[in-house]
Amino acid sequence: MDKPGRKIRSYVRREGRMTAGQKRALEHYWSRYGIDYRAGEIDLDAVFGRPAPKILDIGPGMGDATVAMAQASRENDYLAVETHRPGVGSLLRQAAARKLTNIRVISHDVCEVLAHMLPANSLDGVCIFFPDPWPKKRHHKRRLINHEFLNILKPRLKENARIYISTDWQDYAEQILEVFETHAGYINLAGEGRYSPRPRWRPYTKFESKGRQQDHPVWDCLFACRPG
């Protein structure tokens, strides 16, 4: 049972076993790619060393998709927020191996990062690929996509910023549509009650490929931030 007044988080720290390569990456590359959490706004252009479209990648897991997007779209800057330390190590290792300069990583709760670190009107896009579905009904309150999250997110979005979400859990996909379509700050670009085609640029992750082998369908959603 959740304790009174305790914030319900959308994740638990499933650290698992960290490989030697992931440990080395954290030790050697955090200073290059990592941003330590602090309760104060950061200047994203200064962090990346240039003005460019800024994409927030929430929960990138082992970082495969983040790295693929950053490599394919070097005109964009990608800020990945991930609490899973082995995943952070994997992302750092891949980014360094490809000598990418358009990735930064924060290892902290994304809601606190949004609330305390990211300035207003600073994000051009958000990617949330396969968020933890918390499949048991009693755990649905832990799902990331809810009105509280959308309220925190909206002020950080530029006008008409895009939000891309993918899931392979049908009831979560239905919940995502409902939450966004009942919030005045967003519009479903596929039309009310409809899912979007899979974006051609969205990389296949190991997680998604494994699901496809088990014939898991995937639901893609595309929303825009309403002006005002």
Structural domains of the chain in order of their starting residue, each with its CATH number: 52-225 (3.40.50.150)
Q: Annotated catalytic, 132?
A: yes
Averaged pLDDT, groups of 10, the chain, 228 residues long: 48 72 96 97 98 98 96 98 96 98 97 98 97 89 95 97 96 97 97 96 84 86 94
Q: What is the pLDDT of residue 13?
A: 57
Q: What is the pLDDT of residue 212?
A: 78
Q: What is the pLDDT of residue 153?
A: 98
Q: What is the pLDDT of residue 141?
A: 92
Instruction: Confirm whether pTM is higher than 0.85.
Output: yes
Q: What is the pLDDT of residue 5?
A: 39
Q: What is the pLDDT of residue 50?
A: 98
**Which position among 124, 132, 171, 215 bears the catalytic label?**
132
Q: What is the CA radius of gyration of the chain?
A: 17
Q: What is the pLDDT of residue 8?
A: 59
Q: What is the pLDDT of residue 214?
A: 80
Q: What is the pLDDT of residue 1?
A: 38
